[in-house]
């Protein structure tokens, strides 16, 4: 039932297209959710336009359950230096049923899930969402710099 419909570049292309629509802080969440829908559409071989966020979560969660039955759980370490972005990962793991913990004396977070789920679902969703957040931060910084330059007195 679960076969990848297309290689990852098409998902990355859909996510990049959504980055172009981020024009302000209010556009960040919809663009992040589009990343999730794009991955779910690829996993289910359905059209992304026909999926809602709830559908996407159900599809990704079902894919994770299928992977759990088909292959063993593995521990994958991921390093995300910013605490705010670590919360994204925590929320995604909770949302999809993957385990997340921090081992003693280690900075990296440890995800417990099947390797296929991490590679095909969790990593692309996380990367897509982080790309949106980082692009939004860069855009905000560019606007602040432009405002700072505009406020400078002429020499």
Mean pLDDT across 79-89: 85
Mean pLDDT across 98-118: 90
Between these two residues, 16 and 89, which has the higher pLDDT value? 89
Q: Phi-psi region for residue 6, left (φ > 0), alpha (ψ -120 to 50) or beta?
A: beta
pLDDT at 147 over 90: yes
Q: Which residues contact 14 (CB under 8 A, 6 or more apart)?
A: 34, 38, 48
Residues linked to residue 78 through DSSP beta bridges, in sequence order: 109
Report yes or no on 82 lying in a domain. no
Report yes or no on 32 lying in a domain. yes
Mean pLDDT across 71-87: 88
Report yes or no on 12 lying in a domain. yes
Report yes or no on 120 lying in a domain. yes
Report yes or no on 124 lying in a domain. yes
pLDDT at 128 over 50: yes
Task: Look up the pTM and report it.
Answer: 0.75
Residues linked to residue 112 through DSSP beta bridges, in sequence order: 75, 99
Q: How many domains are there within the chain?
A: 1
pLDDT at 74 over 80: yes
pLDDT at 15 over 80: no
Report yes or no on 143 lying in a domain. yes
Report yes or no on 91 lying in a domain. no
Return the pLDDT at 14. 52
Alpha helices in the chain (DSSP H): 8-19, 28-44, 53-70, 83-96, 115-117, 123-151
Write out the residue range of the structural domain in which residue 55 sits.
8-71+114-151
Report yes or no on 123 lying in a domain. yes
Whole-angstrom distance, CA of residue 28 vs CA of residue 21: 9
Mean pLDDT across 79-94: 86
Long-range contacts of the stretch 135-141 (C-beta < 8 A, 24+): 135/19, 135/22, 136/22, 136/25, 136/27, 136/28, 139/22, 139/23, 140/25
């Amino acid at each position: 039932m679960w076969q990848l419909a297309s290689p990852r570049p098409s998902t990355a292309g859909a996510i990049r297209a959504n980055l172009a629509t981020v024009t302000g802080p209010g556009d960040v969440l919809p663009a992040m959710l589009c990343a999730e829908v794009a991955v779910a559409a690829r996993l289910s071989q359905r059209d992304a336009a026909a999926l809602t966020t709830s559908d996407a979560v159900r599809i990704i969660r079902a894919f994770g359950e299928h992977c759990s039955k088909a292959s063993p759980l593995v521990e994958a370490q991921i390093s995300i230096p910013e605490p705010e972005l670590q919360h994204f990962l925590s929320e995604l793991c909770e949302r999809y049923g993957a385990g997340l913990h921090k081992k003693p004396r280690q900075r990296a977070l440890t995800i417990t899930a099947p390797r296929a789920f991490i590679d095909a679902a969790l990593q692309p969703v996380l990367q897509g969402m982080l790309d949106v957040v980082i692009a939004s931060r860069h855009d905000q910084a560019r606007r602040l710099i432009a405002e700072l330059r505009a406020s400078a007195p002429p020499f």
